[in-house]
Amino acid sequence: MSIRSSKLTSFWVFCFSLLINGLFAQDPRLALQYFQSGEYEKAAGLYKSLVQSQPNIDIYYNNYLECLMSMKQFDEAESLIKKEIAKKPKDCIQYYQLGNLAMRQNEPEKAEKHFLEAINKLQPEVIIAYKLANLFGNQNRYDLSIQVYEKAQKLMGEQADFNSLLADLYRKKNEPKKMLQYYMKALKNGSIDVNQLGNQLIVYLPKELYPELQAELYSELEKKPDQSSYIELLAWSFIQNKDYMNAMRQTKSLDRLLNENGASVYQLAYNAMLESDYRTAIDGFSYLKAKGQAETYYLEASRHILICRRKQIVEKNNYNHQDLLALESDYEQFKNEYGSARLVGDLWIEYAELEAKYLNKLSKAIDLLEQYINLPNVDPQTKARAKLDLGDYYLIAGERWEATLLYSQVDKDFLEDQLGEDARFRNARLSYYAGDFTWAQEQFDILKRATSRLISNDAIDLSVFILDNLAKDTLGEALRMYSQAELKVFQNLHDDALLLLDSIRSLTVENTLEDDVWYLQGKIFNKLKETDKAIERFERVVEKYKDDIRADNSLFELAKIYDYQKEDKEKAKQLYEKLFMEFSGSILAVEARKRFRQLRGDQAQ
């Protein structure tokens, strides 16, 4: 053979070799394509060759076996499995395959026998345990998966941990108590952290089992009081039920244990404040304040103690004189420490409100706001709000012209701002108090278009109120007495206001102001802590004048009384629901719905 002929032969051998190898390289992809499209006969031929040439690749074997079963070639499938068992007698997966084959042949008892044999053949190998348990899980045979993991745990001891997987299986079986039991084991050995566990429990643990979780955690803490994960989970469990007081107890304990800077306590206290649990919020903020001025949250904690105590008084109307004096003391301390700070103007305004409206120290309130207004570098908007309140206090003192001067200054400085609208509303209200109803009504009519919904609604209410009553009483005598009564309430002269209101009913033949009188009497009695009298007046309005403008306000006042003063949350819930269902257009409907959801225990969004 010539050299040329020899080279040519070698070339063709090389090309043929490349072709054959290329075809074999394509076999797995082609086989998988046939397998996935359900062309089992074509796939089986290719996989049979692949199993023979590469017997150690499991996917070729498994897919070939599935092809045989799908084509109902059960004898050949059984022969294939038994050959594999002969080679690997300890391979538990093959016994599973025998069981799977029996299931395909509708022989459940035979299948069960092979499945149990597979579990008995299990070796101390984590990967094999996962694989066998997953095979059972894919058939929704969760009991068998559980048996696999329980046996694997016995075989391997501390070398492996299957607690989270067992918890998940019991979840799938809808056995939350067993799920919780295994999650607690996982928490103990550190295979799951508190955040991961919380994410699972919030979805899958029924609310009625939270006490069981808490009891378990308390039991564990008796043995290991310094176990931070137990304390953290206990706090988390209380938060889910909005039991902020118990959650705060645990969170403070955790803060002390880990020597933290109070971040978790601050966040919980802040959340409790948002949920109107001011007692817990004050407890948390006081804990942070007690850490000292050098600590991170001292200033914010001090501010929020004041905010919460004020909300207890203003929102809940649930306080005594000592509460007022304690709040006054805290405001004074805060003012002395941070009074000139640019960002604490709100606290000056609130301090003055406490003095003027609750402690009847009008001159001190005026002095506080005048001090604040004259501070250098004061925020212009906060200064304007201080001027508006200062105008109110001059009005309470009977100095009408000082009041209107301050309102007009803010109106001029903030002509296109909500502050300007507020100033114009207060000036119009002042004219209403003075009995200048025509001018006041014109201003309220303009303010109907105010950008602030609150101002707009109040302006609409007063505009309609004036028009309705002047139409029936052109002299406006009853309306003048009623506006004077409102001014007396504004000035904290409640006895004088009640006398005026009693006199109005004798003047109004058609009782056109009857619902307004009852409503204002209710407000006065509530302020004077004569709660039952207040309830009676508000209920009269709701029952007899449900279509008038005082009905939604009366319903809201009733709901708040039962919520905060009577502590009858169910009754309060009913009233809030009635308000947002029957008065959906009311500005109060939004607040009523929010509080209703809080009382119902909805998670915060």
Q: Is 227 left (phi over 0), alpha (psi -120 to 50) or beta?
A: beta
Would you say residue 377 has pLDDT above 50?
Answer: yes
What pLDDT score was predicted for residue 585? 85
Token readout for 144 is 């068998």
Average confidence (pLDDT) over 358-372: 94
d(CA 384, CA 424): 13
Average confidence (pLDDT) over 368-387: 92
What pLDDT score was predicted for residue 15? 43
CA-wise closest residue to 445 among 435, 432, 490: 432
- Number of Cβ within 10 Å of residue 248's Cβ equals 24
- Answer with the residue of higher pLDDT: 257 or 602: 257
Contact 420, 381 (CB under 8 A): no
Would you say residue 16 has pLDDT above 50?
Answer: no
Q: Name the least confident of 35-49, 118-132, 331-345, 350-364.
A: 331-345
pTM, full prediction? 0.72
Token readout for 421 is 């609208």
Would you say residue 8 has pLDDT above 90?
Answer: no
- Number of Cβ within 10 Å of residue 2's Cβ equals 7
**Per-residue pLDDT tens over the stretch 471-524:** 777 667 889 999 999 999 999 999 999 999 998 877 755 557 889 999 999 999
Would you say residue 48 has pLDDT above 60?
Answer: yes
Contact 77, 65 (CB under 8 A): yes
Would you say residue 604 has pLDDT above 90?
Answer: no
pLDDT confidence bin for 285, thresholds 50/70/90 = very high
pLDDT confidence bin for 586, thresholds 50/70/90 = confident
C-alpha Rg value of the chain to the nearest Å: 39
pLDDT confidence bin for 555, thresholds 50/70/90 = very high
Residues 25, 69, 136, CA angle at the centre, nearest 5°?
100
- Residue 519: C-alpha distances to residues 65, 284, 328, 484, 538 (Å): 83, 38, 30, 15, 6
CA-wise closest residue to 335 among 297, 387, 375, 296: 375
pLDDT confidence bin for 345, thresholds 50/70/90 = confident
Domains of the chain from N-terminus onward: 427-511 (no CATH), 513-605 (1.25.40.10)
26 φ, ψ (degrees, to nearest 5): -80, -20
- Residue 76: C-alpha distances to residues 81, 175, 407, 540, 599 (Å): 9, 41, 97, 88, 66
**Per-residue pLDDT tens over the stretch 179-212:** 999 999 999 888 899 999 999 999 999 989 999 9
d(CA 42, CA 21): 20
What pLDDT score was predicted for residue 454? 86
Contact 266, 301 (CB under 8 A): yes
- Answer with the residue of higher pLDDT: 582 or 336: 582
Instruction: Let me know how many helices (H) and strands (E) the chain has, helices first.
Output: 32, 0
Q: Kindly state the greatest CA–CA separation across the chain.
A: 138
d(CA 452, CA 421): 8
